[in-house]
Structure 1
Amino acid sequence: MVSTSKLSANGGKFITNGTKYRSIVGALQYAVVTHPNIAYSVNKVFQFMHAPCDILFQAVKRILRYLQDIADNGLRFTSSSRLSLTTFVDATWASDVDDRRSTSGFCIYFRGNLISWSSHKQQVVARSTAEAEYRSVASTPADLSVDYGFS
């Protein structure tokens, strides 16, 4: 997905029969399991399943072309003697043009291998970039404890 594109529920001409759009986007949900790099893009087009338009369908086709280009890539697991848990967290402030909520995301690596990742909209509207980043950093350990039983 083009990083400067802002998808919206009000952009473009609506598709009368959205069955094909829903089918392709539903199938892309399974591709996210082995290609976490498309999780954000798939999440964005998934948000408009109820009313797809031509601009969203173009974004879906762009994701499919990207997957075709990287067909041989995927998650690689390697062995490592170093016992380490590394987390990367980021947020985009007010990235949704419809409701102005920020998007948080994180990746967790254990011994250099990706074990968990997530991208989701924040529950409230942040007033600044710093607040969006803080909320993202604060929610990651909570998500980790819920997913893996850490306390």
Structure 2
Amino acid sequence: MTDYKSVSTPMSWTMKLSAQGGAHYRSIVGALQYVTLTRPDVAYAVNHACQYMHAPTNNQWSLVKRIMRYLKGTQHHWLVLRRSSDFSLQAFSDADWARNNDHRKSTDGYAIFLDPNLISWASKKQCTVARSSTDAEYKALAVACAELTWLRSLFA
């Protein structure tokens, strides 16, 4: 990895992935899953890489290499927790409607902040196929609201 050039984003939006060297790929992607515990900026890209563990192609390998190059260029990025006297929760959600050509399921994600501190985040394929981008966004919002409700119950 020391010979690779770094990149500015963990995933290229022009790359189309499809389910068309398994053990080594699974090992690297498994390690990348642990990276998402402290690097939420790669959660979406790693989520896509995980969907092809059963039969990775050159496109999936390119994605994994791009994530690794991104991590190399951003190795000084980390989560910072700041002290705050206010306990306000703020949530953000988003959905990627039917991007995958194999199953047409959307991917949703959320980020929840306690004051300025990011405390919870996720990126996950939705269970059902959304009929529209609005439907996908509402499903993502519902997932974020469920997490937000659970977090609020912890602070009550």
- Give the TM-score, by structure 2 length: 0.85
Q: Which moved more, 1:79-88 or 1:136-145?
A: 136-145
* Residues 101 and 124 in structure 1, CA contact (< 8 A), matched pair in contact too: yes
**RMSD of aligned residue pairs (Cα, Å):** 1.7
Deviation at 1:28, TM superposition (A): 0.7
* Residues 92 and 111 in structure 2, CA contact (< 8 A), matched pair in contact too: yes
Q: Which residue of 1 aligns with 2:153?
A: 150
The residue type paired with residue 6 of structure 1 is K
* Residues 92 and 144 in structure 2, CA contact (< 8 A), matched pair in contact too: no
- Give the TM-score, by structure 1 length: 0.88
2:153 match: secondary structure: coil
May I ask how many residue pairs the two structures share in their alignment? 144
Deviation at 1:149, TM superposition (A): 7.4
Rounded to whole Å, the distance in 2 between the matches of 1:55 and 1:139 is: 30
1:100-111 matches, within 5 Å, as 100-111=104-115
Q: Which residue of 1 aligns with 2:14?
A: 4
User: How high is the sequence identity, in percent, across the aligned residues?
Assistant: 48
* Residues 26 and 53 in structure 2, CA contact (< 8 A), matched pair in contact too: yes
Q: Pick from 60, 63, 67 the counterpart of residue 71 of structure 2.
A: 67
Rounded to whole Å, the distance in 2 between the matches of 1:103 and 1:19 is: 25
Unaligned runs of 5+ in 2: 1-10
Unaligned runs of 5+ in 1: 11-16
1:14-53 matches, within 5 Å, as 17-53=21-57
The alpha-carbon distance between structure 1 residues 34 and 43, as it changes in their structure 2 partners (threshold 3 A), is same
- Structure of higher RCO (CA pairs closer than 8 Å, 6+ residues apart): 2
The alpha-carbon distance between structure 1 residues 99 and 61, as it changes in their structure 2 partners (threshold 3 A), is same
Confirm or deny that 1:99 pairs with 2:103.
yes
Q: Which residue of 2 aligns with 1:76?
A: 80
* Residues 91 and 148 in structure 2, CA contact (< 8 A), matched pair in contact too: no
The residue type paired with residue 127 of structure 1 is R
* Residues 90 and 105 in structure 1, CA contact (< 8 A), matched pair in contact too: yes
* Residues 79 and 111 in structure 1, CA contact (< 8 A), matched pair in contact too: no
